[in-house]
Amino acid sequence: MLVSAKEMLNKAKAGHYAVGQFNINNLEWTKAILLTAQECNSPVILGVSEGAGKYMCGYKTIVGMVNGMIEELGITVPVALHLDHGSYEGAMKCIKAGFSSVMFDGSHYPIEENIAKTTELVKLTNELGLSLEAEVGAIGGEEDGVVGTGECADPNECKMIADLGVTMLAAGIGNIHGKYPANWAGLSFETLAAVSEKTGDMPLVLHGGTGIPADMIKKAISLGVSKINVNTECQLAFQEATRKYIEAGKDLEGKGFDPRKLLAPGFEAIKATVKEKMELFGSVGMA
């Protein structure tokens, strides 16, 4: 059964570790992440962007697939199914379809409008027992055509949004989606510390988990980050393993063309990446 992300994140915040959000793209992705979470006895959040939602035929299809897998793979660790960077309309659709968690990304709106829309969603998600992530200060890079510049959030605005009663808060601290450029200035721990001080017990979310060095991840967790989003890194691991398989000509040997064989190295590579992240984030054994 899907659960809200509230309890797992409050526990992570209190226990000084972070729960990984791993974005899904298809059946192989979802199965790899769920099996790894179970093997690591770790809570997990499956992230779905609106673009990935469309790709997978819509939110109802995803809910059906994830619920079916949880039952038929015997997954007993806490799993939240979460809309990533949702619009207001997207959040409403996911709530209807049976997601257990949604993000409303109002960071591109003026703060008053972000507050107004987030307030409505706090009320609705509370009534339904779902978790809600809000965002202040756009995350840099490009995701599904939404481009941000990697701002640092205003800690006072973070407090205003946190006080609305959201479950978790994403604050821009110089993080970027996708690969980090060679001249990246690194995370702004000054901003993170200020946001943390203003928002108290609120679990903070670090987007753009791909390529952030391990020491920065650990420092971010020590400053109150309890949820870390990883997407591109699983894609790169899948791509590299699949490329190796084809370049080695394995698809031409025997039944190597069978998708169950062709996609297996990429599947294993996602599993290895997720395991590595769960170990780094400290969520292993915390289910």
How far apart, in Å, are the Cα atoms of 218 and each of 20, 64, 82, 192, 233? 13, 35, 24, 13, 18
Least distance in angstroms from the C-beta of 85 to ligand 13P: 6
Q: Residues 17-36: x/- map of binding to ligand 13P (CB under 6 A)?
A: ------x-------------
Residues 42-81 that bind ligand 13P (CB under 6 A): 47
Q: Could you give the CA distance from residue 22 to residue 16 in angstroms, rounded to a whole number?
A: 19
207 belongs to the binding site for ligand 13P (CB under 6 A):
yes
C-alpha angle 61-131-237 in degrees, rounded to nearest 5: 55
Structure-token pair, residue 161: 């949004």
177 belongs to the binding site for ligand 13P (CB under 6 A):
yes
User: Of the two residues 157 and 233, which places its CB atom closer to ligand 13P in the complex?
Assistant: 233
209 belongs to the binding site for ligand 13P (CB under 6 A):
yes
178 belongs to the binding site for ligand 13P (CB under 6 A):
yes
Least distance in angstroms from the C-beta of 261 to ligand 13P: 28
84 belongs to the binding site for ligand 13P (CB under 6 A):
yes
232 belongs to the binding site for ligand 13P (CB under 6 A):
yes
What single letter denotes the amino acid at residue 263?
L
| Interface with ligand 13P (CB under 6 A), residue from 36, 229, 242, 283 | 229
Burial class (CB in 10 A: 0-12, 13-18, 19+), 89: exposed
Q: List strand residue ranges (DSSP E) for the chain, in order.
A: 19-23, 44-49, 79-86, 101-104, 131-136, 141-143, 146-148, 168-171, 204-206, 225-230
Q: Could you give the CA distance from residue 134 to residue 202 in angstroms, rounded to a whole number?
A: 11
Pick the catalytic residue: 84, 144, 154, 215? 84
Q: Could you give the CA distance from residue 20 to residue 82 in angstroms, rounded to a whole number?
A: 12
Q: Are strands 168-171 and 101-104 parallel, antiparallel or unpaired?
A: unpaired
| Residue 84 a catalytic site member | yes
Q: Residues 127-166: x/- map of binding to ligand 13P (CB under 6 A)?
A: ----------------------------------------
Catalytic residues: 84
Contacting residues toward ligand 13P, per CB under 6 A: 23, 47, 84-85, 177-178, 207-210, 229-233
